[in-house]
Amino acid sequence: MATPRLTISFTPAATPITTRVTKFGGQPVWLGEPCWPLSRSSGNPMRFVGQVEIPAHLFASVPAKMAYVFMTQEDDYVEWTWDPQRGENAVVLQPGAIGVEVNTAPLRTGPTVIAKDRRPIEFEVGLQAGNDEPNQLDDDDLLDDATDDGNKLGGLPAWLQEEDFPGAGWSRLLLQLDQVRLPFFLNLGDGRAFVFLSPDGPKARMLWQR
């Protein structure tokens, strides 16, 4: 059965985006009280990647309205940013921010994604509706050919390695980001990041593969 998804396109923002819409870079526009995740290894604020307005028609049973994605990126290399439970990435759902698995601080602004020339940058988003078909390829073939679509909301994860869901039942893909198709720097080892929603409440986890 086909799974609906929204393919993401990026346009540089002419002015700062200050509304609660899907965007990447800049500063978060909090739906509730600020809840900025802190790196478990350093205690520093993680880097803000972007915010996603959770599409009601794709996730009708999800009480959260906004998801805020963060990942540790510092001058020195940081281990475990790919792991959903090692405290070097985080997804904050609002309203409520229930289930955040790292320490947080009430910061309204903080580190954000940068362009390749190291300037802070911000992108508004276009969304194109479509569908992902279940992957019918043999085990010896590439895993992602049937469900690729690069950067998207919803749909099916286009794994670069074996399936690696972040917990039992965590199969609802909220967001997929493909580093080689992003207009900003996000250190995924030329791989892909996946954000999944919990099967039993307002929680989300992120992981990446290469």
Q: Which residue did the predictor score with more confidence, 199 or 53?
A: 53
- pLDDT value at position 135? 66
Mean pLDDT of 181-210: 93
- DSSP per residue over 74-111, as a string? -SS--TTTT-TTSSSEEEEEETT-TT--S-EE--S---
- Of 67-71, 73-77, 167-171, minimum mean pLDDT range: 73-77
pLDDT tens per residue across span 114-166: 987 778 899 999 999 999 988 655 455 544 444 567 999 999 999 999 999 99
- pLDDT value at position 147? 59
Q: Does pLDDT of 190 surpass 70?
A: yes
Which pLDDT band, with edges at 50, 70 and 90, does 97 fall under? low
Domain assignments of the chain as residue spans, ordered by start: 3-209
- pLDDT value at position 144? 45
Q: Which residue did the predictor score with more confidence, 109 or 201?
A: 109
pLDDT tens per residue across span 9-45: 999 999 999 999 999 999 999 999 999 999 999 999 9
Instruction: Name, in order, each residue with C-beta under 8 angstroms of 131's C-beta and a sequence gap of 6 or more.
Output: 2, 3, 4, 5, 155
- pLDDT value at position 133? 85
- pLDDT value at position 145? 46
Q: Average model confidence (pLDDT) for the chain?
A: 90
- pLDDT value at position 182? 95
How far CA 51 is from CA of 113, 136, 164, 188, in Å, comes to 12, 32, 23, 18
Q: Which amino acid is residue 54, in one-letter code? A: I
Mean pLDDT of 49-76: 93
Please give the Cα distance from 67 to 131 (Å, whole number): 22
Q: Indicate the fold that domain 3-209 takes in CATH.
A: Hypothetical protein YwqG fold (2.30.320)
12: which strand partners?
123
Q: Does pLDDT of 91 surpass 80?
A: yes
Check if the beta carbon of residue 160 is closer than 8 Å to that of residue 192. yes
Q: What is the pTM of this model?
A: 0.93
